[in-house]
Chains A and B, each alone.
Chain A
Amino acid sequence: MTHFNQESFDKALSEGKLMMVDFWADWCGPCKMLAPVIDGLAEQYAGKAVVGKVNVDEEQELAIRYGVMSIPTVIFFKNGEEIDRKVGVMPAGAFTQVLDKNG
């Protein structure tokens, strides 16, 4: 699991791989609830997709850049572009569907 800051996020993005990024904060209960799901997916998709997290409290510019208005928000990227996003707590299947379709 990668914890991105702006620099490492931009570097990962420029590599163009399939990415799944969880925007979260520690004051947010639903984010805590989603964390084990994201952790599980990071393991499950190791080598197939880059799964990481952005703390919106520490990385406000990234949150603003992607217009994150509610957390948790999970954004998917490929070739450096946003391809999908899921807002709120969702079952793992909602995320694997996007990862499998674009993997």
Chain B
Amino acid sequence: MEHDIIVLGSGPAGLAAAVAARGRDKSVLVIGNRWEDSPLARAERVDNYLGMPGRTGAQMLREFSQHAQAMGVETVTGRAIALMVYNGFYVTVGSQVYDGRALILAPGVVRQAKYPGEEEYLGRGVSYCATCDGMLYRSKPVVVVGRSPDAPLEANYLSSLGCQVTYVSSNQPKGLQEGIPFVKAGKLAVRGQGTVTALEADGVELPCAGVFILRQAVAPTDLLPQLETEEGFIKVDRHMATNVEGVFAAGDCTGGPLQVAKAVGEGHVAALSACEYLDQQEQQ
């Protein structure tokens, strides 16, 4: 295995876990978005973090990231699109695969509900991975649903492959290539007949063969269907262990309060539990 611990999520919980695990001399890979894209980065002022009042969320995140880097934490910027448990944990980001012996889930809260038709047409026109499936749609019309900051880049990539791309999102995208039509819409539904035929965007049908839905993160329960949840949050015990052996969770994904202090504490505990798990495995 390449790494002792893989952490999904680069917010306070994920970075706290990474720092704690490095403190126990484990190798750690953090997979997540740029810290600038964390919801915390938009917090104007955080006043309840012990001993460090009055900072902006961005300041805190920058310092957290620097701390993790100084501790020798490796990072990959990107979205985990698939996960497999097979004598350890394998995580796919684009065309790359990373592996580790234990897993800590700290992706925050994935607030975006699925669109009507999304689940039904997954693999039959709906895709979460432009890198994987783009080639299968060469010269065909596709719609990119942009719900993440890097979505315009993926749309540009699809266009470069020869897909006829339309970009749909509720905000004006940054970095979208000229010539790719942009449709501003918020209410979306995937339509099809056996396979995808269109994306309905605010009541208007955009005919297409494929819909690439690009969110900030894939929900942990989509990555790991056997993961137990409770009212939408990952179920953990006091050691931050989930029901899946070797998988721990921390931060907003385990439930409220959605606070930095709580996320950092949970990240720390999750890491120590993961280290203990690894040490026990080694003894066996």
Contact = CB atoms under 8 A, between A and B. Distances in A.
B93 A34 contact: no
B82 A70 contact: no
Interface residues of B, number: 29
Contacts of B122: 70, 87-88
A54 interface: no
Nearest to B132: A28
A32 interface: yes
A31 interface: yes
A46 interface: no
A73 B195 CA distance: 15
B126 to A, nearest CB: 8
Contact of B195 (A28, A37, A67, A91): A67
Given A69-B124, A73-B123, A29 B84 contact: no
Given A33-B97, A34-B84, A69 B210 contact: yes
Given A29-B131, A32-B97, A33-B92, A70 B84 contact: no
A15 B83 CA distance: 35
B195 A30 contact: no
A29 B96 CA distance: 5
Interface of A: 25, 27-34, 36-37, 56-57, 63, 67-71, 73, 87-89, 91-92
A1 to B, nearest CB: 17
19 contacts: A25-B132, A25-B135, A29-B94, A29-B95, A29-B129, A31-B132, A32-B95, A33-B82, A33-B92, A34-B84, A56-B135, A69-B133, A69-B210, A70-B132, A71-B132, A71-B133, A88-B82, A89-B83, A92-B86
Contacts of A87: 122-124
A63 B135 CA distance: 11
Contacts of A63: 136
Interface string B72-87: 0000000001111110
Contacts of A88: 82, 122-123
A56 B123 contact: no
B82 A89 contact: yes
Contacts of B127: 69-70
B246 interface: no
A27 B135 contact: yes
Given A29-B93, A30-B82, A33-B97, 5 more contacts: A29-B95, A32-B97, A69-B137, A70-B127, A91-B84
